A and B are shown apart, each in its own frame.
Chain A
Amino acid sequence: MNATETGGLPPRAAPEEGRLPAPAPAADGKGSIKRKLLLVLGVYLAGLIALIAIYGFKGTRNEAFKPQNEFKLENWVNLGIFSINKAVLYLILAAALTAGTMTYIARRMQQRPNKVQAAVEALFRLMHDNITASAMDERMAAKWFPFIGTLFLFILFSNLVGYIPLPTNTENEINVLGLQIPSFSLYAATANLSVPLVLALTVFVSYTVEGIRAKGPIGYLKGLVPGGVEGGMAIPIFFLEVLSNLMRILSLTIRLFANILAGHLIILFMAGALAVILGSAWLGWFTLPFGIILFAFEVGLVAALQAFIFATLTAIYLGGAVARDH
């Protein structure tokens, strides 16, 4: 408990610990944590005041830096519409991770699970019992679990890889020992509109096809109208339902895309872009802790939550498409 809490402190606290004369080891845990927190706060405020004193309160606007270039896709290999750029790299990374880690762990399954296997088993239970089996009957669940599970893991890995800074920004290069390497940047395949759109279209096509196979084309279209609606009212309701079916593509896409893009944007701005644009040093120091907190929030909650939502809604749509009564 104690160790994890101190480990969870922002990394800035680390150098200060070394510089201080070692605190009395006999001090009880609570007191030392409080002292460390106060120390971090003190360093933060002192840094803020020092930066304002050195560089002044007003900054000069920087017109050269364009934050939208962080999301610009530069073709590395030109192949027309199949050009390879950084989004493709992230897609391949996520796909390789999904396939690689899962087959590796499945090959090494043991009777007595180690920690990684236990975590993957928990993940499997979440995907199988909570997401898939709760939305459809057993036969359907057995048939569609691979699809939903893969979708979940692919989006999860895609989101998580996006929060690791990788040297992919070929727009701006940095010089390390005479070598031009691309600067490190955050990017995720799911922060590009086309990737979630393709995933959502796949989901739409699969549940429509499954519904038509279960009920026939006419039966499926009839099934769109909720039970209990009869007579003349059925016609406008039918069009509304068709429209809401098409809106599902849009809502699945935008939910995933905008969540990840907004997460990346806000991390970018909090962790320095705002300070660079406005050209004031103290602002960067001021927003850095918020950047770290938001980063932890995005990695810990949003990445997994969005994958969970996408998979859950897929399961619900699939289950709804074959259900006898709407």
Chain B
Amino acid sequence: MHIALITVLAAAEETAKAGKSIGLGVGGGLGAVGAGVGIGLIFGKAIEAITRQPEMRDEITQLQWLGFALTEATFFYGLVAGLLAAFIV
């Protein structure tokens, strides 16, 4: 009886652990997917723009870094949510 109860409790704990790991994986992994697509788009467009108008290079580069950082931040929102799920909740 007791052993059965312990097994059930242990299984529940394992499930909770698995859920937390899934949370971290989804938060980090899917966040990286989205931000990766976004960063790729930004740099691709920046290269296109610079090849079309090389004289605007400085302005485009500045905007490119701004866009890069804003996009990259969305990855960290996902990562922070994942870390919260894994270690705090």
Contacts and interface: CB of A to CB of B under 8 A. Distances in A.
Given A258-B73, A262-B76, 8 more contacts: A68-B87, A258-B79, A258-B80, A262-B79, A305-B65, A308-B65, A308-B69, A309-B65
B88 to A, nearest CB: 11
A305 B66 CA distance: 8
Interface string B65-83: 1101110110011011000
B62 interface: yes
A68 B83 CA distance: 12
Interface string B52-69: 000000000010011011
A245 interface: no
Interface of B: 62, 65-66, 68-70, 72-73, 76-77, 79-80, 87
Interface of A: 68, 130, 251, 254-255, 258-259, 262, 305-306, 308-309, 312
Contacts of A312: 66
Contacts of B80: 254, 258
Report the 7 A-B pairs with minimum CB-CB distance, sorted nearest first: A258-B76, A255-B73, A309-B69, A258-B80, A305-B69, A312-B66, A130-B62
Contact of A306 (B62, B69, B79): B69
Contacts of A306: 69
Given A130-B62, A309-B66, A259 B77 contact: no
Nearest to A252: B73
